[in-house]
């Protein structure tokens, strides 16, 4: 049996005397897309930041590839896990190519030479995200969907084995939501990447994720395949809403709706 990519055991997090997360047990495998869902304030972004080592849990243990997370050096960790926050930093008029090239930083550092290997990976990332025609365009002048793909391209150039994305579709229209999530699913299965994506739309999670992890009040309230989660009783327990479920007429995937 292969070692899980990431294992979290009894993870807890407190801030200003308030419990944000408690008793989180999760195992993430390679080649799967995990949707992280739940009400606002349920702890989704906090959990993602802990996975990304942006904040340190107040209790519990995390193993990355069977080794304690704290034992990974900064650059070696960044070669494994790439993180995109909900609000991405300002790009200061950088072009797409310049942004994507930042993904190579963990491999050569500030003073390291940008090699032909780095250039090849940047070119491949731009091509894989269908951004060739924007390579020399300013990221700031792109549409929301194009910007999101540029950040995903940077994560691909980083050549990490795990991508963590906090609400990458929140400001996108339906077409671009579909495009971004379809791309992530393809990348996960092509490259055996572990992908965790925070989503508000449970139907998007059901359509594009292999597993859904639902948080409520800082705890995992449900975890399973879309078929396991998209059930009226499970959805009510997570979202405190009466929701109906029917099957998509073409794909037969489960779809929920508010009653």
**Alpha-carbon span 256 to 227, nearest angstrom:** 11
CB-based contacts of 103: which residues, under 8 Å, 6+ apart?
A: 82, 121, 122, 125, 153, 154, 155, 156, 157, 158, 159
Instruction: Tell me if 107 is assigned to some domain.
Output: yes
Q: What are phi and psi of 75, to 5 degrees?
A: -75, -35
- Give the model's pLDDT for residue 1: 58
- Give the model's pLDDT for residue 100: 94
Instruction: Tell me if 137 is assigned to some domain.
Output: yes
Instruction: Tell me if 1 is assigned to some domain.
Output: no
Helix (H) or strand (E) holding 239: helix 232-239
The 10s digit of each residue's pLDDT in 127-161 is 999 999 999 999 988 888 888 899 999 999 999 99
Q: CA of 139: how far to CAs of 53, 61, 73, 110, in Å?
A: 27, 38, 30, 22
- Give the model's pLDDT for residue 144: 85
Q: Backbone dihedral region of 239: left (phi > 0), alpha (psi from -120 to 50 degrees) or beta? A: alpha
pLDDT (tens digit, 0 to 9) for every residue of the chain, 259 residues total? Answer: 567 999 999 999 999 889 999 999 999 999 999 999 999 999 999 999 999 999 999 999 999 999 999 899 988 999 999 999 988 888 878 999 999 999 988 887 666 677 888 899 999 999 999 999 999 999 988 888 888 899 999 999 999 999 999 999 887 888 888 988 999 999 999 999 999 999 999 999 999 999 999 999 999 999 999 999 999 999 999 999 898 888 777 677 788 877 5
Instruction: Tell me if 89 is assigned to some domain.
Output: yes
What residue numbers bound the domain in which 209 lies?
A: 6-68+75-258
Eight-class DSSP state of 137: S
pTM (2 d.p.): 0.92
- Give the model's pLDDT for residue 109: 65
**Number of domains composing the chain:** 1
DSSP sequence for 171-184 = T--HHHHHHHHHHH
**CATH at 91:** 3.40.50.300
Instruction: Tell me if 239 is assigned to some domain.
Output: yes
């Amino acid at each position: 049996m292969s070692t899980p990519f990431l294992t979290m055991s009894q993870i807890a997090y407190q801030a200003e005397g308030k419990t944000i997360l408690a008793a989180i047990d999760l195992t993430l495998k390679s080649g799967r897309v995990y949707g992280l869902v739940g009400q606002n304030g349920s702890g989704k972004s906090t959990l993602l930041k802990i996975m990304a080592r942006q904040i340190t849990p107040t209790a519990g243990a995390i193993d990355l590839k069977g080794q304690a997370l704290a034992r990974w050096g900064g650059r070696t960790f960044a070669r494994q896990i790439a993180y995109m926050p909900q609000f991405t930093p300002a790009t200061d008029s950088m072009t797409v190519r310049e942004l994507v090239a930042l993904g190579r930083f963990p491999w050569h550092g500030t003073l390291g030479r940008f090699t032909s290997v780095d250039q090849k990976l940047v070119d491949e990332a731009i091509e894989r995200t269908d951004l060739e025609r924007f390579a020399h365009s300013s990221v700031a002048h792109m549409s929301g969907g194009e910007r999101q793909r540029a950040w995903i391209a940077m994560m691909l150039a980083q050549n990490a084995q795990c991508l963590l994305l906090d609400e990458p579709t929140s400001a996108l229209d339906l077409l671009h939501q579909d495009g971004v999530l379809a791309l992530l699913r393809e990348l996960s299965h092509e490259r055996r990447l572990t992908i965790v994506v925070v989503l508000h739309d449970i139907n998007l999670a059901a359509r594009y994720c292999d597993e859904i992890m639902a948080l409520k009040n800082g705890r995992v309230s449900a975890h399973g395949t879309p078929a396991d989660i998209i059930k009226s009783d499970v959805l009510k327990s997570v979202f405190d809403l009466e929701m109906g479920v029917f099957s998509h007429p073409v794909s037969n995937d489960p779809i929920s709706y508010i009653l």
